[in-house]
Structure 1
Amino acid sequence: MDALLTALADPARWRLVGLLAERPRSVGVLAQLAGARQPQTTKHLQTLERAGVVTSQRTGQRRVYALQADPLRELATALNRLADTVDQAGAYEAFGQHGLSLAAERLAADEPGWADARSFKFQRSIAGSPDLVWRHLTEPALLERWWTPDDLRISELVFEARPGGRLLLEYRDAEDLDGTDQIAGRAEGVVTAVRPGEHLAYRNSPLLPDGSHAFTAHVDLALRPSGTGTELDVDFRITGSTVESADFIAGIELGFGQSLDQLAAAVAASTDTPRSTP
């Protein structure tokens, strides 16, 4: 497959493939139709033959080349398989949505405070008791399982579940296992309200490269029991927005929504594993 892709990548050889798709042709005729010199055409055809996409035979004084259909079908199958993988994964749909949001927010970020009236509301029905959900919201070992979007992982986390408690979150690409890639983001904040099993609030500020705050997120989470587990309501409010905060704010709705989906999945999975008794 590598040899085939290399052979087809050259525009001149691709032109010859198109001509041979119509019918077998001699080297001289192919050179005329392609507008190239015959020695160059011969070299290109030899490359295509080594890759298995064309075959040749001598007829009298001429060498005639013909296209092989099977390698092209195999390539088409491989490309279709890749396209199907993209469609099934759904990641590129989110990537496209995020791109549109980036463009809109960058256009709107024209002065400090541009997004200070912005708020986002989220709601999730979670298959777990309020106590279990609370543990996932406040215990660092459980927070690590969900508190980033799908494509990120937590590399450093501090969460002190008490009023005035410190909050620190650093995250990297989920596939950056050895930490050689750049940090994807870092945020710091403080816990402002704690009522176990019922209410949690904190302030959280993503950091810009110079260490200053991009904006401050005021996050308020309310839990209430339901017949199937817990209803979680989240209010996400922005203050102190800077012009440089546009890229961060563009990802809130999609990214925080993905995190809450992962929270629901983590809680549902943990209901199958009883908590160990100290």
Structure 2
Amino acid sequence: MERIAAALGNAERWRIIELLAERPHSVGELADLTGLRQPQTTKHLQTLARAGLVAVFPLGQRRVYAAEAAPLAALGRRLGELAAAVEAHGDERDVIARYRAALAAESAAADREHWADGRTFTFERVLPAPRDVVWRHWVDPDLLASWWVVPPMTVTDCVLEPRPGGRAVLDYRDAEAQYHSQGRVHAVEHGKRLSFHLAVGAADAVAFTGHYDLALADAGSNTRMRLALRITGAAVHAAPFIAGIETGWEQVLGHLADAVASSSHHTAGHDERRDSQP
């Protein structure tokens, strides 16, 4: 496929294929129709032939070239698949558009230190898992690392120790930088509530401190989760971080929903198999 795409990536070869799609032509005819010299036309035809896009038929002293439909059809299918993938992931483009709009607004507002202090955000979800499963995904470091950042970022360290004074850490990186967040847990009601703060930043420069309050409640066999966030200590350079809070948390909480659903399904399947044993 790469060879086909490379061969068609030249405008002159593309024009030749268009002409051959209508009917076979000799080198001389193609040269006349494209305005190229015959040696150039011959080289282009050789490239197209190596990619399997044209076939040559000797007719006495003449050589006639014809387009091959199969590789063009294969390329068309692959392009169709790519177009479908782009459409299926259109929400990713929407996330970028929303972030760009938020970044422009926050950058305009970030004209002094503490500019965003007191700003609050609230996120609510009904998660498809029992409360104990959701709680474990917040306090177990391995489970926490499985959902707490969005691609292409990677968690390098994270912990929320479920005890007053416990460590709160979220370190992650992407291809361009490393980010460090640390703080403390303030209040814990096991399985129901977790209050903590994180000082967020990069390169040892704190951008802001986020004060989080997580509350979990039963909702039938599901869990109603409420996460409240309040900003303090906002530096001027915090604008990119704060602009990404809403879209970022919406994404990671979507990952959390998927993670707890998968974990709950796995646990239920294990229990069913155990109960079926004699």
Q: Aligned partners of 1:48 and 1:129: how far apart in 2?
A: 60
What residue number does 1:159 align with?
160
Within a 5 Å distance, the mapping from 1:137-216 to structure 2 comes to 137-149=138-150, 151-172=152-173, 185-209=179-203, 211-216=204-209
What CA deviation, in whole Å up to 9, does each residue of 1:24-66 have, x standing for no partner? Answer: 2221222222222111111111111222211223445443222
- 1:241 and 2:237 matched: no
Within a 5 Å distance, the mapping from 1:1-278 to structure 2 comes to 1-88=1-88, 90=89, 92-94=90-92, 96-108=93-105, 109-110=107-108, 111-112=111-112, 113-116=114-117, 118-149=119-150, 151-172=152-173, 185-209=179-203, 211-271=204-264, 272-273=266-267
Higher deviation after alignment, 38-47 or 244-253: 244-253
> SS where residue 257 of structure 1 aligns?
helix
Shift in Å, 1:170: 1.6
Runs of 4+ with deviation above 6 angstroms: none
Report if aligned partners of 2:144, 2:159 keep a CA contact under 8 Å in 1. no
What residue number does 1:177 align with?
none
Q: Aligned partners of 1:266 and 1:56: how far apart in 2?
A: 56
What residue number does 1:176 align with?
none
AA matched with 2:164? P
The TM-score normalised by the length of structure 1 is: 0.82
What residue number does 1:178 align with?
none
Higher deviation after alignment, 109-118 or 230-239: 109-118
Q: Describe the shift of the 1:103–1:133 C-alpha distance in structure 2 as closer, same or farther (beyond 3 A).
A: closer
Report if aligned partners of 1:98, 1:250 keep a CA contact under 8 Å in 2. no
The RMSD of aligned alpha carbons is: 2.7
Q: Which runs of 5+ in 1 are unaligned?
A: 174-180
Q: Which runs of 5+ in 2 are unaligned?
A: 271-278
Higher deviation after alignment, 161-170 or 37-46: 161-170
Q: Describe the shift of the 1:141–1:39 C-alpha distance in structure 2 as closer, same or farther (beyond 3 A).
A: closer
Query: How much identity, in percent, do the aligned residues show?
Result: 45
Q: Aligned partners of 1:248 and 1:157: how far apart in 2?
A: 18
Higher deviation after alignment, 230-239 or 69-78: 230-239
Q: Describe the shift of the 1:97–1:49 C-alpha distance in structure 2 as closer, same or farther (beyond 3 A).
A: same
